[in-house]
Structure 1
Amino acid sequence: MYTCDACQMNSCYKKEPTGYPKNCPCPDEAHVEACKELYSDPENMMISHNSALVEAEGYLRKNRLEEIMDFARKCNYHKLGVAFCLGMKREGNILCNILRHNGFDVVAVACKHGRIPKEFIGIKDEEKVRPGTFESICNPIGQALLMNQQKTDLNVMMGLCVGHDTLFMKYSEAPATVFAVKDRALAHNPIGALYLSENYYKQKFFGKNQAD
Protein backbone atom coordinates (compact mmCIF):
# COMPACT_ATOMS: atom_id res chain seq x y z
CA MET A 1 0.00 0.00 0.00
CA TYR A 2 1.54 3.28 -1.10
CA THR A 3 0.99 6.40 1.03
CA CYS A 4 2.98 9.09 -0.74
CA ASP A 5 0.49 11.67 0.57
CA ALA A 6 1.82 11.19 4.11
CA CYS A 7 5.53 11.19 3.21
CA GLN A 8 7.68 13.76 5.02
CA MET A 9 10.98 12.93 3.29
CA ASN A 10 10.17 13.88 -0.32
CA SER A 11 13.19 11.90 -1.46
CA CYS A 12 11.78 11.59 -4.98
CA TYR A 13 12.41 15.31 -5.46
CA LYS A 14 15.96 15.44 -4.10
CA LYS A 15 19.17 15.05 -6.08
CA GLU A 16 20.80 13.12 -3.23
CA PRO A 17 18.10 11.48 -1.08
CA THR A 18 19.08 10.50 2.45
CA GLY A 19 16.66 7.62 2.57
CA TYR A 20 13.19 6.37 1.68
CA PRO A 21 10.07 5.41 3.66
CA LYS A 22 9.49 1.67 3.86
CA ASN A 23 6.69 1.69 1.30
CA CYS A 24 8.27 4.19 -1.12
CA PRO A 25 8.16 3.05 -4.77
CA CYS A 26 11.40 4.90 -5.65
CA PRO A 27 13.80 2.05 -4.72
CA ASP A 28 11.80 -0.41 -6.84
CA GLU A 29 14.21 -0.52 -9.77
CA ALA A 30 12.06 -2.92 -11.81
CA HIS A 31 9.13 -0.52 -11.61
CA VAL A 32 11.27 2.48 -12.52
CA GLU A 33 12.76 0.68 -15.51
CA ALA A 34 9.29 -0.37 -16.68
CA CYS A 35 8.23 3.29 -16.54
CA LYS A 36 11.30 4.34 -18.53
CA GLU A 37 10.52 1.75 -21.18
CA LEU A 38 7.01 3.16 -21.60
CA TYR A 39 8.32 6.74 -21.73
CA SER A 40 10.64 5.61 -24.52
CA ASP A 41 7.62 5.13 -26.75
CA PRO A 42 7.87 8.02 -29.27
CA GLU A 43 4.40 9.45 -28.56
CA ASN A 44 4.81 9.16 -24.79
CA MET A 45 8.25 10.77 -24.99
CA MET A 46 6.88 13.64 -27.09
CA ILE A 47 3.98 14.30 -24.72
CA SER A 48 6.15 14.04 -21.61
CA HIS A 49 8.91 16.23 -23.06
CA ASN A 50 6.52 18.96 -24.19
CA SER A 51 4.60 18.82 -20.91
CA ALA A 52 7.81 19.52 -19.02
CA LEU A 53 8.59 22.45 -21.33
CA VAL A 54 5.10 23.93 -20.85
CA GLU A 55 5.43 23.57 -17.08
CA ALA A 56 8.78 25.36 -16.95
CA GLU A 57 7.91 28.09 -19.44
CA GLY A 58 4.57 28.93 -17.88
CA TYR A 59 5.31 28.35 -14.20
CA LEU A 60 3.48 31.02 -12.15
CA ARG A 61 3.07 33.10 -15.31
CA LYS A 62 0.52 31.41 -17.59
CA ASN A 63 -3.01 30.20 -16.89
CA ARG A 64 -4.25 26.74 -17.79
CA LEU A 65 -5.86 27.81 -21.05
CA GLU A 66 -2.60 29.35 -22.23
CA GLU A 67 -0.75 26.20 -21.21
CA ILE A 68 -3.19 23.96 -23.12
CA MET A 69 -2.62 26.00 -26.26
CA ASP A 70 1.16 25.99 -25.75
CA PHE A 71 1.10 22.22 -25.22
CA ALA A 72 -1.01 21.66 -28.33
CA ARG A 73 1.35 23.76 -30.46
CA LYS A 74 4.45 22.00 -29.18
CA CYS A 75 2.87 18.62 -29.94
CA ASN A 76 1.67 19.83 -33.36
CA TYR A 77 -1.94 19.17 -32.35
CA HIS A 78 -4.07 21.29 -34.69
CA LYS A 79 -7.56 19.78 -34.45
CA LEU A 80 -8.90 20.00 -30.90
CA GLY A 81 -12.03 18.35 -29.57
CA VAL A 82 -13.97 20.13 -26.83
CA ALA A 83 -16.33 17.87 -24.90
CA PHE A 84 -18.46 20.22 -22.84
CA CYS A 85 -21.37 20.02 -20.44
CA LEU A 86 -24.53 21.66 -21.74
CA GLY A 87 -24.84 23.37 -18.35
CA MET A 88 -21.61 25.20 -19.20
CA LYS A 89 -22.48 26.00 -22.81
CA ARG A 90 -21.65 29.69 -22.46
CA GLU A 91 -18.21 28.90 -21.05
CA GLY A 92 -17.74 26.20 -23.68
CA ASN A 93 -18.55 28.67 -26.45
CA ILE A 94 -16.04 31.19 -25.09
CA LEU A 95 -13.38 28.46 -24.85
CA CYS A 96 -14.00 27.31 -28.43
CA ASN A 97 -13.93 30.88 -29.76
CA ILE A 98 -10.58 31.52 -28.05
CA LEU A 99 -9.13 28.30 -29.45
CA ARG A 100 -10.39 29.09 -32.96
CA HIS A 101 -9.07 32.64 -32.76
CA ASN A 102 -5.67 31.22 -31.89
CA GLY A 103 -5.52 29.07 -34.99
CA PHE A 104 -6.97 25.73 -33.92
CA ASP A 105 -9.68 23.74 -35.67
CA VAL A 106 -12.26 22.91 -33.03
CA VAL A 107 -14.76 20.05 -32.88
CA ALA A 108 -17.26 20.86 -30.12
CA VAL A 109 -19.76 18.28 -28.90
CA ALA A 110 -22.33 18.82 -26.13
CA CYS A 111 -22.96 16.15 -23.54
CA LYS A 112 -26.71 15.78 -24.17
CA HIS A 113 -26.49 15.06 -27.90
CA GLY A 114 -28.50 12.06 -29.06
CA ARG A 115 -31.43 12.74 -26.71
CA ILE A 116 -31.17 9.29 -25.11
CA PRO A 117 -33.75 9.22 -22.28
CA LYS A 118 -32.52 8.49 -18.79
CA GLU A 119 -34.94 5.59 -18.61
CA PHE A 120 -32.61 3.80 -21.07
CA ILE A 121 -29.96 3.48 -18.33
CA GLY A 122 -32.49 2.47 -15.69
CA ILE A 123 -33.15 5.84 -14.06
CA LYS A 124 -36.61 6.09 -12.49
CA ASP A 125 -38.63 9.28 -12.70
CA GLU A 126 -38.12 10.02 -8.99
CA GLU A 127 -34.36 9.67 -9.50
CA LYS A 128 -34.15 12.47 -12.07
CA VAL A 129 -32.83 15.94 -11.36
CA ARG A 130 -36.31 17.27 -12.19
CA PRO A 131 -38.88 14.47 -11.70
CA GLY A 132 -41.86 14.58 -14.01
CA THR A 133 -39.88 15.94 -16.95
CA PHE A 134 -38.02 14.47 -19.90
CA GLU A 135 -34.30 14.23 -19.21
CA SER A 136 -31.70 12.90 -21.60
CA ILE A 137 -28.56 11.25 -20.35
CA CYS A 138 -25.17 12.87 -20.62
CA ASN A 139 -23.54 11.03 -23.51
CA PRO A 140 -19.75 11.08 -22.99
CA ILE A 141 -19.31 7.87 -24.98
CA GLY A 142 -20.97 9.59 -27.90
CA GLN A 143 -18.81 12.68 -27.44
CA ALA A 144 -15.69 10.52 -27.63
CA LEU A 145 -16.94 8.51 -30.61
CA LEU A 146 -17.74 11.66 -32.61
CA MET A 147 -14.30 13.05 -31.86
CA ASN A 148 -12.74 9.76 -32.88
CA GLN A 149 -14.72 9.99 -36.12
CA GLN A 150 -13.41 13.52 -36.68
CA LYS A 151 -9.86 12.34 -35.89
CA THR A 152 -9.10 15.03 -33.33
CA ASP A 153 -5.49 15.40 -32.21
CA LEU A 154 -6.23 16.38 -28.61
CA ASN A 155 -9.50 16.34 -26.66
CA VAL A 156 -10.30 18.90 -23.98
CA MET A 157 -12.89 18.18 -21.29
CA MET A 158 -14.98 21.15 -20.19
CA GLY A 159 -17.17 20.63 -17.13
CA LEU A 160 -18.08 16.96 -17.57
CA CYS A 161 -19.76 15.37 -14.56
CA VAL A 162 -17.99 12.89 -12.31
CA GLY A 163 -18.23 9.51 -14.01
CA HIS A 164 -19.11 10.99 -17.36
CA ASP A 165 -15.51 12.17 -17.60
CA THR A 166 -14.48 8.60 -16.79
CA LEU A 167 -16.41 7.23 -19.76
CA PHE A 168 -15.12 9.95 -22.05
CA MET A 169 -11.51 9.12 -21.21
CA LYS A 170 -12.24 5.42 -21.61
CA TYR A 171 -13.42 5.84 -25.21
CA SER A 172 -11.34 8.79 -26.42
CA GLU A 173 -8.76 7.62 -28.95
CA ALA A 174 -6.91 10.94 -28.90
CA PRO A 175 -4.94 12.09 -25.85
CA ALA A 176 -7.14 14.07 -23.47
CA THR A 177 -6.72 16.87 -20.97
CA VAL A 178 -9.01 18.78 -18.62
CA PHE A 179 -9.70 22.50 -18.83
CA ALA A 180 -12.38 22.68 -16.13
CA VAL A 181 -14.33 20.30 -13.94
CA LYS A 182 -17.86 20.69 -12.64
CA ASP A 183 -18.60 21.51 -9.01
CA ARG A 184 -21.79 23.54 -8.83
CA ALA A 185 -21.62 23.80 -5.03
CA LEU A 186 -18.16 25.42 -5.06
CA ALA A 187 -18.32 27.53 -8.23
CA HIS A 188 -16.42 24.81 -10.12
CA ASN A 189 -13.49 24.99 -7.71
CA PRO A 190 -13.49 21.46 -6.22
CA ILE A 191 -10.23 21.92 -4.33
CA GLY A 192 -12.14 24.34 -2.14
CA ALA A 193 -13.62 21.29 -0.41
CA LEU A 194 -10.12 20.37 0.81
CA TYR A 195 -9.50 23.80 2.30
CA LEU A 196 -12.96 23.83 3.89
CA SER A 197 -12.38 20.34 5.33
CA GLU A 198 -10.27 21.96 8.05
CA ASN A 199 -13.18 24.06 9.32
CA TYR A 200 -16.58 24.51 7.66
CA TYR A 201 -16.68 21.03 6.11
CA LYS A 202 -14.93 19.22 8.98
CA GLN A 203 -18.04 17.41 10.18
CA LYS A 204 -19.16 16.68 6.62
CA PHE A 205 -15.98 14.74 5.84
CA PHE A 206 -14.71 13.54 9.23
CA GLY A 207 -17.88 13.04 11.26
CA LYS A 208 -19.90 14.82 13.93
CA ASN A 209 -17.41 14.11 16.72
CA GLN A 210 -14.73 16.33 15.22
CA ALA A 211 -14.06 19.39 17.35
CA ASP A 212 -13.73 22.82 15.76
Structure 2
Amino acid sequence: MSEVGKCAYCEVLACYKGDFKNLPIFCPMRKFINIIEESRRKYLDNQNLRKLAVNASMIEGEGYMKWPRLKEIIEYAKKLGIKRIGIAFCIGLRREARMVSQALENAGFKVHSVCCKIGGINKGDIGVPRKYWLSNRDFEAICNPIGQALVLNAIGTELNIVVGLCVGHDSLFYMYSKAPVVTLIAKDRVTGHNPVAVIYSSYYWSQFGIRV
Protein backbone atom coordinates (compact mmCIF):
# COMPACT_ATOMS: atom_id res chain seq x y z
CA MET A 1 0.00 0.00 0.00
CA SER A 2 1.81 3.11 -1.23
CA GLU A 3 -1.00 5.63 -1.65
CA VAL A 4 -0.64 8.56 0.74
CA GLY A 5 -3.36 9.13 3.30
CA LYS A 6 -4.29 5.63 4.48
CA CYS A 7 -4.01 6.24 8.21
CA ALA A 8 -7.08 4.09 8.90
CA TYR A 9 -5.04 1.02 7.89
CA CYS A 10 -1.93 1.90 9.92
CA GLU A 11 -0.68 -0.60 12.52
CA VAL A 12 2.51 1.31 13.39
CA LEU A 13 0.93 4.42 14.93
CA ALA A 14 4.27 6.21 14.74
CA CYS A 15 2.66 9.63 15.22
CA TYR A 16 0.98 8.45 18.43
CA LYS A 17 4.18 6.92 19.80
CA GLY A 18 6.58 9.60 18.56
CA ASP A 19 8.42 6.92 16.58
CA PHE A 20 9.26 9.09 13.58
CA LYS A 21 11.95 6.72 12.25
CA ASN A 22 9.38 4.06 11.36
CA LEU A 23 6.77 5.95 9.37
CA PRO A 24 4.80 3.67 7.01
CA ILE A 25 5.29 4.33 3.32
CA PHE A 26 1.74 5.68 3.04
CA CYS A 27 2.08 8.03 6.03
CA PRO A 28 1.17 11.66 5.20
CA MET A 29 4.03 12.73 7.48
CA ARG A 30 6.46 11.49 4.83
CA LYS A 31 5.11 13.54 1.94
CA PHE A 32 3.65 16.56 3.68
CA ILE A 33 6.46 17.52 6.04
CA ASN A 34 6.01 21.22 5.31
CA ILE A 35 2.27 21.04 5.89
CA ILE A 36 2.74 19.28 9.23
CA GLU A 37 5.19 21.99 10.25
CA GLU A 38 2.71 24.64 9.12
CA SER A 39 0.03 23.12 11.35
CA ARG A 40 2.43 23.14 14.30
CA ARG A 41 3.23 26.80 13.72
CA LYS A 42 -0.45 27.71 13.65
CA TYR A 43 -0.83 26.48 17.23
CA LEU A 44 2.25 28.44 18.28
CA ASP A 45 1.59 31.64 16.34
CA ASN A 46 -2.19 32.01 16.79
CA GLN A 47 -3.18 32.58 20.40
CA ASN A 48 -6.85 31.80 19.79
CA LEU A 49 -6.14 28.50 18.04
CA ARG A 50 -3.71 27.54 20.78
CA LYS A 51 -6.33 28.34 23.43
CA LEU A 52 -8.91 26.13 21.70
CA ALA A 53 -6.44 23.27 21.29
CA VAL A 54 -4.92 23.42 24.77
CA ASN A 55 -8.29 23.53 26.49
CA ALA A 56 -9.58 20.66 24.35
CA SER A 57 -6.64 18.55 25.53
CA MET A 58 -7.25 19.62 29.11
CA ILE A 59 -10.87 18.45 28.84
CA GLU A 60 -9.71 15.16 27.35
CA GLY A 61 -7.34 14.61 30.27
CA GLU A 62 -9.69 15.78 33.00
CA GLY A 63 -12.85 14.03 31.86
CA TYR A 64 -11.41 10.92 30.19
CA MET A 65 -13.79 7.98 30.71
CA LYS A 66 -15.69 10.02 33.32
CA TRP A 67 -17.72 12.70 31.56
CA PRO A 68 -20.39 12.27 28.88
CA ARG A 69 -20.03 14.52 25.84
CA LEU A 70 -22.55 17.10 27.10
CA LYS A 71 -20.52 17.53 30.29
CA GLU A 72 -17.34 17.84 28.23
CA ILE A 73 -18.89 20.63 26.15
CA ILE A 74 -20.02 22.50 29.26
CA GLU A 75 -16.60 22.28 30.88
CA TYR A 76 -14.85 23.18 27.61
CA ALA A 77 -16.95 26.32 27.26
CA LYS A 78 -16.22 27.27 30.87
CA LYS A 79 -12.47 26.91 30.37
CA LEU A 80 -12.68 29.11 27.28
CA GLY A 81 -14.54 31.77 29.25
CA ILE A 82 -17.53 31.57 26.92
CA LYS A 83 -20.76 33.25 27.98
CA ARG A 84 -23.04 32.91 24.93
CA ILE A 85 -23.70 29.54 23.26
CA GLY A 86 -25.73 28.77 20.14
CA ILE A 87 -27.63 25.59 19.32
CA ALA A 88 -28.40 24.68 15.70
CA PHE A 89 -30.94 21.88 15.84
CA CYS A 90 -33.10 19.72 13.62
CA ILE A 91 -36.83 20.22 14.09
CA GLY A 92 -37.12 16.46 14.65
CA LEU A 93 -34.90 16.81 17.72
CA ARG A 94 -36.55 19.89 19.21
CA ARG A 95 -37.25 18.05 22.47
CA GLU A 96 -33.59 17.14 22.78
CA ALA A 97 -32.59 20.70 21.88
CA ARG A 98 -34.81 22.06 24.64
CA MET A 99 -33.22 19.71 27.18
CA VAL A 100 -29.71 20.64 26.03
CA SER A 101 -30.63 24.32 26.26
CA GLN A 102 -31.86 23.83 29.82
CA ALA A 103 -28.66 22.02 30.81
CA LEU A 104 -26.53 24.83 29.39
CA GLU A 105 -28.65 27.53 31.02
CA ASN A 106 -28.40 25.72 34.34
CA ALA A 107 -24.62 25.77 33.89
CA GLY A 108 -24.73 29.56 33.66
CA PHE A 109 -24.62 30.19 29.91
CA LYS A 110 -26.79 32.44 27.77
CA VAL A 111 -28.22 30.08 25.17
CA HIS A 112 -29.68 30.88 21.74
CA SER A 113 -31.27 28.07 19.73
CA VAL A 114 -32.22 28.20 16.04
CA CYS A 115 -34.39 25.60 14.31
CA CYS A 116 -33.37 24.15 10.94
CA LYS A 117 -36.60 25.31 9.27
CA ILE A 118 -35.92 28.98 9.97
CA GLY A 119 -37.08 31.22 7.13
CA GLY A 120 -39.70 28.79 5.86
CA ILE A 121 -38.04 28.48 2.44
CA ASN A 122 -39.94 26.11 0.16
CA LYS A 123 -37.97 23.19 -1.27
CA GLY A 124 -39.31 24.00 -4.70
CA ASP A 125 -37.78 27.47 -4.52
CA ILE A 126 -34.24 26.08 -4.55
CA GLY A 127 -34.92 23.28 -7.01
CA VAL A 128 -35.38 20.16 -4.88
CA PRO A 129 -37.11 17.63 -7.21
CA ARG A 130 -40.63 16.83 -6.06
CA LYS A 131 -39.98 13.08 -5.81
CA TYR A 132 -37.59 13.78 -2.91
CA TRP A 133 -40.13 15.69 -0.84
CA LEU A 134 -41.42 13.93 2.27
CA SER A 135 -45.05 15.04 1.84
CA ASN A 136 -47.63 15.69 -0.88
CA ARG A 137 -48.27 19.27 0.22
CA ASP A 138 -47.45 22.25 -1.98
CA PHE A 139 -45.17 23.63 0.71
CA GLU A 140 -42.31 21.81 2.40
CA ALA A 141 -39.64 23.84 4.13
CA ILE A 142 -36.00 23.15 3.42
CA CYS A 143 -33.50 22.72 6.20
CA ASN A 144 -31.69 26.06 6.26
CA PRO A 145 -28.32 25.57 7.99
CA ILE A 146 -26.91 28.68 6.32
CA GLY A 147 -29.72 30.68 7.89
CA GLN A 148 -29.08 29.06 11.27
CA ALA A 149 -25.41 30.01 11.10
CA LEU A 150 -26.04 33.57 9.93
CA VAL A 151 -28.58 34.20 12.70
CA LEU A 152 -26.22 32.87 15.37
CA ASN A 153 -23.43 34.97 13.84
CA ALA A 154 -25.66 38.04 14.14
CA ILE A 155 -26.49 37.21 17.76
CA GLY A 156 -22.79 36.90 18.51
CA THR A 157 -22.56 33.39 19.92
CA GLU A 158 -19.05 32.34 20.93
CA LEU A 159 -19.53 28.57 20.56
CA ASN A 160 -22.15 26.72 18.53
CA ILE A 161 -23.48 23.23 19.16
CA VAL A 162 -24.98 21.02 16.44
CA VAL A 163 -27.93 18.92 17.55
CA GLY A 164 -28.98 16.46 14.87
CA LEU A 165 -28.55 18.36 11.61
CA CYS A 166 -28.92 16.22 8.48
CA VAL A 167 -25.96 14.89 6.53
CA GLY A 168 -24.79 17.72 4.29
CA HIS A 169 -26.78 20.34 6.15
CA ASP A 170 -24.29 20.01 8.98
CA SER A 171 -21.48 20.73 6.49
CA LEU A 172 -23.14 23.96 5.40
CA PHE A 173 -23.56 25.04 9.01
CA TYR A 174 -19.87 24.41 9.75
CA MET A 175 -18.92 26.42 6.66
CA TYR A 176 -20.94 29.50 7.61
CA SER A 177 -20.59 29.58 11.39
CA LYS A 178 -18.16 32.25 12.58
CA ALA A 179 -17.93 30.68 16.03
CA PRO A 180 -16.23 27.32 16.65
CA VAL A 181 -18.63 24.40 16.30
CA VAL A 182 -18.92 21.18 18.30
CA THR A 183 -21.33 18.36 17.50
CA LEU A 184 -23.36 16.90 20.33
CA ILE A 185 -25.76 14.71 18.32
CA ALA A 186 -25.13 13.22 14.88
CA LYS A 187 -28.49 12.44 13.34
CA ASP A 188 -29.20 8.82 12.41
CA ARG A 189 -32.90 8.07 12.35
CA VAL A 190 -32.33 4.32 11.97
CA THR A 191 -29.96 3.80 14.91
CA GLY A 192 -31.41 6.22 17.44
CA HIS A 193 -28.78 8.83 16.51
CA ASN A 194 -25.91 6.45 17.14
CA PRO A 195 -24.26 6.22 13.68
CA VAL A 196 -21.39 4.02 14.83
CA ALA A 197 -23.86 1.25 15.72
CA VAL A 198 -23.66 -0.06 12.14
CA ILE A 199 -19.89 -0.42 12.52
CA TYR A 200 -20.27 -2.39 15.75
CA SER A 201 -22.98 -4.67 14.33
CA SER A 202 -21.81 -7.54 12.11
CA TYR A 203 -25.25 -7.58 10.49
CA TYR A 204 -24.30 -4.43 8.59
CA TRP A 205 -20.77 -5.44 7.61
CA SER A 206 -21.75 -7.28 4.44
CA GLN A 207 -23.99 -4.41 3.38
CA PHE A 208 -21.02 -2.04 3.39
CA GLY A 209 -18.39 -4.56 2.31
CA ILE A 210 -16.59 -4.38 5.65
CA ARG A 211 -14.04 -7.11 6.39
CA VAL A 212 -12.77 -7.60 9.94
SS of the residue 1:200 aligns to: helix
Unaligned runs of 5+ in 1: none
Does 1:34 find its partner at 2:38? yes
- Cα distance in 2 for residues equivalent to 1:6 and 1:177: 27
- Cα distance in 1 for residues equivalent to 2:29 and 2:61: 24
- Cα distance in 1 for residues equivalent to 2:66 and 2:153: 33
Residues 19-168 of structure 1 mapped to structure 2, 5 A cutoff: 19-27=22-30, 28-40=32-44, 41-132=46-137, 134-168=139-173
Q: Percent identity?
A: 38
After TM superposition, the structure 1 stretch with the greater mean CA deviation from structure 2, 30-39 or 19-28, is 19-28
Alignment-derived partner of residue 204 in structure 1:
207
- Cα distance in 1 for residues equivalent to 2:111 and 2:86: 6
Name the Cα RMSD after superposition.
Answer: 1.6
Instruction: Using the TM superposition, give the Cα deviation of residue 132 of structure 1 relative to its aligned residue in structure 2, in angstroms.
Output: 3.5
After TM superposition, the structure 1 stretch with the greater mean CA deviation from structure 2, 30-39 or 85-94, is 30-39
Deviations 1:101-158 (A, max 9, x none): 1100001000001111110121233220123452100010000000000010000000
TM-score norm. by structure 2 comes to 0.92
Structure 1 pair 123/30, CA: closer, same or farther in 2 (3 Å)? closer
Letter in 1 for 2:28: P
Deviations 1:173-200 (A, max 9, x none): 011110101000011000011122xx21
SS of the residue 2:86 aligns to: strand
SS of the residue 1:50 aligns to: helix
Alignment-derived partner of residue 11 in structure 2:
8
SS of the residue 1:91 aligns to: helix
Instruction: Using the TM superposition, give the Cα deviation of residue 16 of structure 1 relative to its aligned residue in structure 2, in angstroms.
Output: 4.2
Deviations 1:77-114 (A, max 9, x none): 11000000000000000000110011000010000011
- Cα distance in 1 for residues equivalent to 2:25 and 2:132: 47
Structure with more of its chain in helix, by fraction: 2
Structure 1 pair 202/133, CA: closer, same or farther in 2 (3 Å)? farther
- Cα distance in 2 for residues equivalent to 1:48 and 1:139: 30
